[in-house]
Structures are given as structure tokens and as C-alpha cells.
Amino acid sequence: MADIRKEFTGSLEYFWDRERILAPLMIAPAILYIVLLVGIPFFMAIYLSLSDATTGDPNLSFVGLRNFKAVLRDPVFLKSLKNTFIFTFVSQIFVLILSKILALALLKDFRGKWLVRFLILLPWTAPVALGTIGWMWMLDSIFSPIDWMLRYLGLLGTPGAILGANSNLYWLGVPSLAMLSVIMVHTWRMLPLATVILLAGLTAIPQEILDSAEVDGAGFWRRLFQIMIPLLFPVIAIAFLFGIVFTFTDITVVYILTQGGPIHSTQVLASWAFFKGIEAGDLAQGAAVALFLFPVMAGVAALILRFARRTEVT
């Protein structure tokens, strides 16, 4: 019995020491998860986009690229594509700038630092729909507290005011203000993640490098632009990539705040794919719209990762 147990234990030790066996075994659950969660829906979307599938007709017929041609002739799709790029890149520029400022501030020791960190992380930990509904009330056309504050400061609601003589700005009813609103809300939502990523990158910079630069007479701005930011380029690229992926595929903010309106001025690809494929019942064209996200995201991700690799400091 002891010999059998010893032989079994030896076999297990041999098994765990074999990298060729252990490595695939450990990575298998992640691969299975990705295949089930991403791979199957992706190929299903390709299959639907090449058919005439609708929610009311269970029979599918192969139609080739007809759906893609129809989508490219759709003016709402072209507007959604343009809005998606504006919504994504403008919001991410604001996120990177503000997260850098917050990360630098959180490096300092001050009273109430834990409370500030909690408030910064709150938008990320709170449910997206709940936070967006809160913003929907803040941007209300009648009871907006933002408009009340602007009126109190004299910037709105009086003749000659900078923002106009109207008592409200109608944030979600004017096309330009509606786009500004969804960008502002999404910036608020993504800011905590970018701040945490950049804060981790800042804490990884060796303090002796910064101390040496300070001794040599380098001021704050010189240390920031010639030392901190160059060393943070790979981290910034990763934060930017995460932000682009989350923003480019986001539907919650646009759907809750504006439903793509007014007059499709805030429509993005993700929301238009939902409206076209689910609410309008045209699964084939909805899948075709959604698939346009894939090559764009793949190209952007490849460029950002290549840039991050080139800027790595060894």
C-alpha cells in the first residue's frame, strides 16, 4: 500500500513539474471562457450578417454582402460612425488629462486622502445605469442643478449672460449640448480606472530618479514632461487602450441619456446596432452594423500596443 501511494505521489510530482502539460492545462479555462463568451457570439454575428434574419422570421437565407452594402448606404450609420469616433477620442483625451492630474494629486500626503480616493473610485464601483440616471436628473431641462448654479453665477438666464438669456441650457435637447453631455458623463465614468492605472505607474517610478533630477535643478514641469510622462508612456497606452475599448463599445450612457437623439446627433455604432437589430427586429443588419466595430477596434488595439512596446523603458 505504501509503495502504491509513493508511486502515485511520484506520478503527481512528475505531472506538476512538466511545463508542457501544466501550462496548457492552466490556460485551458481562460481559453474556454473566451471561446464561449466571445468566439461563439462573434461567429454567430457573422452568420446573421450574411443572412436575411429578422426577429419575426425563423427561416434564414444566405444573401452575401447585401446587408453590408445597405448599411454603408444608410446615412444614420455614417453619422453613428462619425459620432463614435468623436465620442471615443474626445472623452479619452479628457480622461487622460484629468486622470494624470488626479494621480499626481493622490501621490501627495494630505488629510482626508482616503475620502478623496473613495469619491474618485465611486463612479467606477457604482452601477453604470444608476450613475447615468443620476446624471439624467442633473441634466434635466427644467430642474437641472447645473443650470441653477450657472444662473446663480450670472452665466445664464440674464440679458448679456455668456451662456445666453434662456433660463435653461436644455442639455439633452440641443445636438451639440447632447454630445457634450454624453462625453462628460462617460469621462466621469472612465476617470477612476485611468486614475488607478496611472497612479500605479507613478508609484513604480524609482524615487531616486526624481530626487536626482530635483537636485540637478529640474522643476516640477520639467520633471513631469521629461521624466514622468516618458516613463509612463507604456502605462498611458494601456490606460488609453482600455478606455477606447470600453468607450467604443459602450451603449449604456447614450441609451439612457439620449436614446441616440436628438435626431441621431448622439447615435453611436453600438446603440444603432441595438436599435436596428433588436428594437427594429432586423437581426441581419444589426449584426452587420455591430461587426464594423471589430476591424476598427482590432486596428486601434494593434497600433496602441505597438506604440506601447516601442516606448517601453528597460
DSSP 126: S
Please measure the distance between the N-terminal and C-terminal CA atoms of the chain and give it in whole angstroms. Answer: 54
Q: Give yes or no for a contact between 234 and 198, defined as CB atoms under 8 angstroms apart.
A: no
Q: CATH number of the domain at 67-310, please?
A: 1.10.3720.10
State residue 9's pLDDT score: 55
State residue 36's pLDDT score: 81
The better pLDDT of the pair 192, 297 is held by 192
The answer for residues whose C-beta is within 8 angstroms of residue 269's C-beta and 6 or more apart is 77, 80, 81, 84, 248, 289, 290, 292, 293
Report the range of poorest mean pLDDT among 47-51, 86-90, 121-125, 151-155.
121-125
- Dump pLDDT digits (tens) for 44-63: 888 888 888 888 776 778 88
- Dump pLDDT digits (tens) for 23-41: 777 788 888 887 788 788 8
Say which residue the cell 468623436 belongs to. 86
Report the range of poorest mean pLDDT among 3-12, 74-83, 101-110.
3-12
pLDDT at 250 over 60: yes
The answer for residues whose C-beta is within 8 angstroms of residue 236's C-beta and 6 or more apart is 96, 198, 201, 229
CATH 1.10.3720.10 in the chain is located at 67-310
The better pLDDT of the pair 137, 220 is held by 137
Q: Give yes or no for a contact between 290 and 248, defined as CB atoms under 8 angstroms apart.
A: no
Report the amino acid identity of residue 214.
E
State residue 79's pLDDT score: 92
Return the closest-CA partner of residue 252 out of 130, 109, 107, 84.
Answer: 130
- Whole-model pTM: value is 0.82
- Reported as a pLDDT band with limits 50, 70 and 90, residue 90 is very high
- Dump pLDDT digits (tens) for 101-119: 888 888 887 787 788 878 8
State residue 267's pLDDT score: 92
pLDDT at 130 over 80: yes
The better pLDDT of the pair 4, 45 is held by 45
DSSP 158: S
State residue 184's pLDDT score: 93
Average pLDDT, the chain: 82
Report the range of poorest mean pLDDT among 167-181, 207-221, 239-253, 299-313.
299-313
